[in-house]
Amino acid sequence: MEKLDIKSMTMPEIEDALKGYDLPKFRIKQIYSWLRKGVESFDEMSNLPKSLRQTLCNIFDIRGVKIKKRLESRVDDTVKYLYELYDGECIESVLMKYNHGYTVCISSQVGCRMGCSFCASGIDGLFRNLSASEMLAQVEMAGKDNGVRISNVVMMGMGEPLDNFENTVRFLDLVSDEEGLNIGLRHISVSTSGVVPKIYELMELGYPITLSISLHAPTNEIRNSIMKVNRAYPVEQLLKACSDYTKKTSRRISFEYALIDGVNDTDECAEILAKNLRGMLCHLNLIPANPVKENSFTRPNDNKVHRFCELMKSKGINTTVRRTLGADIDASCGQLRRSHQNNA
C-alpha cells in the first residue's frame, strides 16, 4: 500500500490516520510540530520514542525535494534549482533577493496542460500535480540551503496552480501556518493563466493573497493564438472575474503581460489593453518575453518595451517593467527541466 504523504496533512488528518494506535494528543502535536519545522525524516523527531518513529515510518513518508542542480547567478543573488521528487520527476524553483527580503518562485505541477505557445513548461503537457508538501518543500529547501528566511512566495514556476486547486489551497494553509514557515498570505502571489471558475472559488475563500493574471493579450484573437485557455474562458469573462475579484476582496490584481515582438506589442494593443484595465484595482507588469528554444517568439527591443510602458502609463494604468533577475542563468521556467531530461 502506498504510504501517506504526512507533510501535506493537517493535524486532525494525522490524528485520524493514527487513531488505531491510541496516542495521546500531545504526541500528535509533537509530530505535527516537527513536520512544520521542516524535518526530512522521522528519525529527526527526537522527542518521540523509537518505536513510534518506526510506526510512523511504516505508515507515512515525508515528501521533500532533493537538489539535483543549483545554478547561482554571477550578476545578482538569484539561485535557480532543479529539484528531484520522490518518484524521480524534476521541477524548478528560483530564489530571488529583493530589497524587502527573499522571494521563492515555486512550481505547482510537473509540466502543465495549458499549452501556452510561448512557455517551455507546457511543451510536453502535464506529468502530474505536485502535492502541498512538495510545494512547501521547495520553499523550505531554498531557505535552508542559503541560510535565509524566506519572506515571500510566488507561484510562478512550472504549472498552473489553479489546475491543481486543492493542493494549492492546502499549500497556502501550510506555508502560512504560525508553527511553520509562517509566511503571511499577503506575501504570497498565485499566478494563473485564467481558469475563470477557479478564480471565483479562490475569491470565495477570501485569502488575502495577491492574484496574478497572465493576460498577455488584449483581444480574443491574439490571446486565442497564444493561449489555449482563452478558448474556454475568453478575455471578457476573465476581465469580469478579475473585476469581481477586486471588488469582493479589495485586493489589487497584478496583470502579467509578456511582450512578444510583433504579436502583442503594438500601439493598438496598448490602446485596447488600457481600455480593458481602466478603472480596475490593478497593476500591470510588463515582461519582455524570454526566448524559448522550441518556439520562434522573440522579445521587442528596449525602445519598444519603453514605448509600450509609457503608453500604458499615459492612459492612467499603473505599469512597471519587470526587472530581470539572474539573467545569466535565466533559462526561463521549464527550460532547465527540459534540458536536463534531454541530456539524461
Written as nine digits, the cell of 249 is 476582496
| Shortest Å, Cβ 81 to ligand SF4 | 17
Mutual angle of helices 267-277 and 235-249, in 10-degree steps = 40
- Residue 112 binds to ligand SF4 (criterion: CB under 6 A): yes
Give residues with Cβ within 8 angstroms of 343, minimum separation 6: none
324: left (phi over 0), alpha (psi -120 to 50) or beta: beta
Q: How many CA atoms lie within 13 A of 114 on its CB side?
A: 29
Is 89 a known active-site residue? no
* 3 DSSP assignment: P
With CB under 5 to 8 Å by kind, the binding choice for 62 among ligand SAH, ligand SF4, none is none
| Shortest Å, Cβ 176 to ligand SAH | 19
Angle at 179 between CA 173 and CA 181, to 5 degrees: 65
Q: Which of 6, 90, 104, 156 binds ligand SAH (CB under 6 A)?
A: 156
Q: Which is nearer to ligand SAH, 64 or 111 (CB)?
A: 111
In the range 199-218, which residues lie near ligand SAH by CB under 6 A? 214
Residues 62 and 45 sit within 8 Å (Cβ to Cβ): no
Q: In this structure, what are the phi and psi dihedrals at residue 252, rounded to the nearest 5 degrees?
A: -75, 135
Query: One symbol per residue from 122 to 141: x for binding ligand SAH (CB under 6 A), - otherwise; what is it?
Result: --------------------
- Name the β-bridge partners of 210: 189
Q: Which of 92, 134, 140, 160 is catalytic?
A: 92
Q: Which of 263, 287, 309, 317 binds ligand SAH (CB under 6 A)?
A: 287
Q: Which is nearer to ligand SF4, 187 or 223 (CB)?
A: 223
**By rule CB under 6 A, what count of residues binds ligand SF4?**
12
Q: Which is nearer to ligand SF4, 56 or 242 (CB)?
A: 242
- Residue 289 binds to ligand SAH (criterion: CB under 6 A): yes
- Residue 332 binds to ligand SAH (criterion: CB under 6 A): yes
Is 269 a known active-site residue? no
Closest alpha carbon to 158 in 240, 94, 227, 201: 94
- The sheet that has 101-105: what strands, in order across it? 66-72, 79-84, 90-98, 101-105, 150-155, 188-192, 210-214, 253-259, 282-288, 319-321
Q: Which of 93, 167, 193, 290 binds ligand SF4 (CB under 6 A)?
A: 193
- Residue 114 binds to ligand SF4 (criterion: CB under 6 A): yes
Contacting range for ligand SF4; rule: CB under 6 A; set: 23-31, 98-106, 109-117, 146-154: 109-117
SS3 category, 80: strand
Residues that bind ligand SAH (CB under 6 A): 116, 118-119, 156, 159-160, 191-193, 214, 256, 258, 287, 289-290, 292, 332
Q: Which residues belong to the active site?
A: 92, 333
Residues that bind ligand SF4 (CB under 6 A): 112, 114-116, 119, 121-122, 158-160, 193, 214
